[in-house]
């Protein structure tokens, strides 16, 4: 029996659905997928069109709203919204170091996790749609970041189920490999570093000094894990968000504390770093981050830790080299490296499974380019000109390849604009769909 509760201005109903772990074996093992229905208070009995929200990630649960803030308030003026916890996240059947231990060997864990990509997520969504709307019911979709990747997979698998699709910062390259993704990404990350250091020039010396300290000393975060130079550099993930550069600067502005043996990194600073670099809340983000790009028709041999391999082509990210040349130490971006599974306590138990996923070949294709070339579903996509996470050129190439994709290219926003823009981005896309823009 669904559970319903009221928040200020909204009515929320919880749903749980049983779906096959492997959609190729519908009578096999079942897992649960959780979704939360949200409707504006006073409109819960209206026959409103549905909007399925596909969260970014991979491996992130849907938002937990209190009221109708940000983009949700905009959506609720037009739709009944379904916030889907993609398989393995939120209140769906979990997939983390604790639950995966029960799956058995690393080989068995990797085989299990191979069912958690966009192709499985959209098949889950199809079963949910049939149960909520009926077999002939259609809904709209809103895909943020990785949710946009899921949207293109959905249009490849069951386009007849979608009335219209909105995508924010998430038009994927249809035929790009993981290596292609990172070769395009490292220069964008370097540019974000340059912007940050131009905005906060004092951070150049601070980052260099912290990196030198970490190279010379063993430093532990409050969770007991080691903070290496490379792990410290992953703070650059912040630079792709609207307020991320400022957040990074405030973290760096007072990292030191005095003690009997001289200056050391303070507990407050280290806890701030831990909050940014720990993946305890989103382990699937690490385990599946490269597999979300894997397609056998593009790279049959798999991803093989593409971000780590491609990094060697960009020596500017070598902190030791930068220090020797008196150059700024560059921070990295949305990259997952194999050493993370040696350092992060939430990932260490998944190390062997992660390596098996990295070496796994023959991943099924995620996008049906022939079906997409005949697309009839209107798609309205915000493409962020300076997006650090999703390559603009890859997105625009996809927009050209798929009919009825209309893009809004803007440099006003960063990748997190759907949330940070207080509804303005979704309002613009809905306006495009309604012929108002």
- Cα gap 251→142, rounded to integer Å: 33
Structure tokens at 1: 């029996």
In the residue annotation, 387 being an active-site residue is answered as yes
In order of 52, 67, 93, 216, 425, the CA distances from 40 in angstroms are 15, 9, 28, 56, 20
In the residue annotation, 15 being an active-site residue is answered as no
Contact status, residue 164 vs residue 379, Cβ threshold 8 Å: yes
User: Within its chain, how far is the Cα of 405 from the centroid?
Assistant: 22
Structure tokens at 328: 């700024």
State the catalytic residue, choosing from 85, 344, 387, 391: 387
- Cα gap 167→174, rounded to integer Å: 15
Q: Taking Cα atoms as reference points, which of 182, 107, 117 lies closest to residue 333?
A: 182
In order of 120, 128, 183, 391, 427, the CA distances from 176 in angstroms are 20, 30, 11, 11, 31
Contact status, residue 350 vs residue 283, Cβ threshold 8 Å: yes
Structure tokens at 244: 């991320």
- Matching residue, tokens 């012929």: 435
Contact status, residue 408 vs residue 427, Cβ threshold 8 Å: no
**Between β-strands 10-20 and 50-54, what pairing exists: parallel, antiparallel or unpaired?**
unpaired
| DSSP code for 101 | G
Q: Say which CATH architecture domain 3-175+367-433 belongs to.
A: 3-Layer(aba) Sandwich (3.40)
- Cα gap 60→393, rounded to integer Å: 25
| DSSP code for 8 | T
- Cα gap 96→99, rounded to integer Å: 5
User: Within its chain, how far is the Cα of 137 from the centroid?
Assistant: 28
State the catalytic residue, choosing from 213, 289, 394, 415: 415
In DSSP terms, 15 is beta-bridged to 35
In order of 44, 247, 272, 312, 421, the CA distances from 7 in angstroms are 13, 30, 31, 50, 22
Contact status, residue 264 vs residue 36, Cβ threshold 8 Å: no
pTM score: 0.96
Neighbours of 391 (CB within 10 A): 23
Domain boundaries, the chain: 3-175+367-433, 178-359
- Matching residue, tokens 């020039």: 201
In the residue annotation, 415 being an active-site residue is answered as yes
| DSSP code for 226 | B
State the catalytic residue, choosing from 145, 225, 245, 278: 145
Structure tokens at 199: 């905005």
- Cα gap 227→357, rounded to integer Å: 25
Instruction: Give pLDDT tens digits along the chain (437 positions).
Output: 678 999 999 999 999 999 999 999 999 999 999 999 999 999 999 999 999 999 999 999 999 999 888 899 999 999 999 999 999 999 999 999 999 999 999 999 999 999 999 999 999 999 999 999 998 999 999 999 999 999 999 999 999 999 999 999 999 999 999 999 999 999 999 999 999 999 999 999 999 999 999 999 999 999 999 999 999 999 999 999 999 999 999 999 999 999 888 899 999 999 999 999 999 999 999 999 999 999 999 999 999 999 999 999 999 999 999 999 999 999 999 999 999 999 999 999 999 999 999 999 999 999 999 999 999 999 999 999 999 999 999 999 999 999 999 999 999 999 999 999 889 999 999 999 999 88
């Amino acid at each position: 029996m669904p559970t319903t509760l009221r928040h200020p201005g909204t009515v929320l109903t919880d749903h749980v659905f049983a779906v096959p772990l492997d959609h190729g074996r519908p009578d096999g093992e079942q897992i649960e997928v959780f979704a939360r229905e949200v409707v504006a208070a006073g409109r819960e009995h209206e026959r409103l069109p549905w909007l399925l929200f596909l969260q970014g990630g991979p491996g992130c649960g849907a938002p937990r709203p209190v009221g109708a803030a940000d983009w949700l308030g905009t959506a609720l003026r037009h739709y009944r919204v379904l916030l889907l916890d993609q398989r393995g996240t939120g209140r769906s059947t979990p997939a983390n170091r604790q639950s995966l231990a029960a799956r058995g060997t690393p080989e068995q864990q990797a085989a299990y996790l191979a069912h958690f990509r966009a192709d499985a997520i959209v098949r889950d969504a199809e079963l949910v749609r049939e149960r909520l709307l009926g077999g002939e019911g259609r809904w709209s979709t809103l895909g943020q970041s990785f949710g946009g990747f899921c949207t293109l997979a959905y249009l490849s698998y069951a386009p007849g189920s979608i009335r219209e699709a909105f995508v924010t910062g998430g038009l994927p390259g249809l035929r790009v490999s993981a290596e292609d993704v990172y070769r395009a990404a490292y220069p964008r990350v370097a540019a974000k570093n340059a912007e940050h250091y131009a905005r906060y020039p004092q951070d150049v010396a601070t980052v260099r000094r912290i990196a030198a300290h970490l190279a010379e000393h063993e430093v532990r975060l409050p969770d007991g894990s080691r903070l290496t130079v490379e792990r410290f550099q992953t703070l650059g993930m912040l630079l792709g968000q609207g307020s991320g550069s400022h957040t990074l600067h405030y973290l760096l502005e007072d990292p030191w504390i005095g003690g009997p043996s001289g200056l050391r990194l303070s507990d407050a600073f280290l806890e701030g770093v831990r909050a940014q670099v720990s993946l305890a809340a989103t382990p699937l983000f690490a385990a599946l981050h490269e597999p979300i790009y894997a397609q056998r028709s593009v790279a049959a041999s798999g991803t093989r830790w593409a971000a780590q391999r491609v990094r060697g082509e960009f020596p500017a990210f070598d902190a030791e080299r930068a220090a020797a040349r008196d150059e700024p130490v560059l921070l990295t971006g949305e990259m997952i490296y194999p050493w993370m599974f040696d350092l992060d306590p939430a990932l260490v138990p998944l190390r062997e499974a992660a390596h098996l996923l990295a070496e796994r070949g023959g991943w099924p294709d995620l996008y049906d380019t022939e079906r997409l070339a005949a697309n009839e579903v209107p798609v309205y996509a915000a493409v962020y000109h300076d997006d650090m996470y999703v390559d603009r050129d890859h997105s625009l190439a996809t927009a050209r390849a798929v009919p009825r994709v209309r893009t809004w290219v803007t440099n006003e926003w960063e990748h997190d604009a759907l949330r940070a823009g207080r509804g303005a981005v979704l309002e613009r896309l809905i306006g495009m769909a309604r012929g108002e823009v």
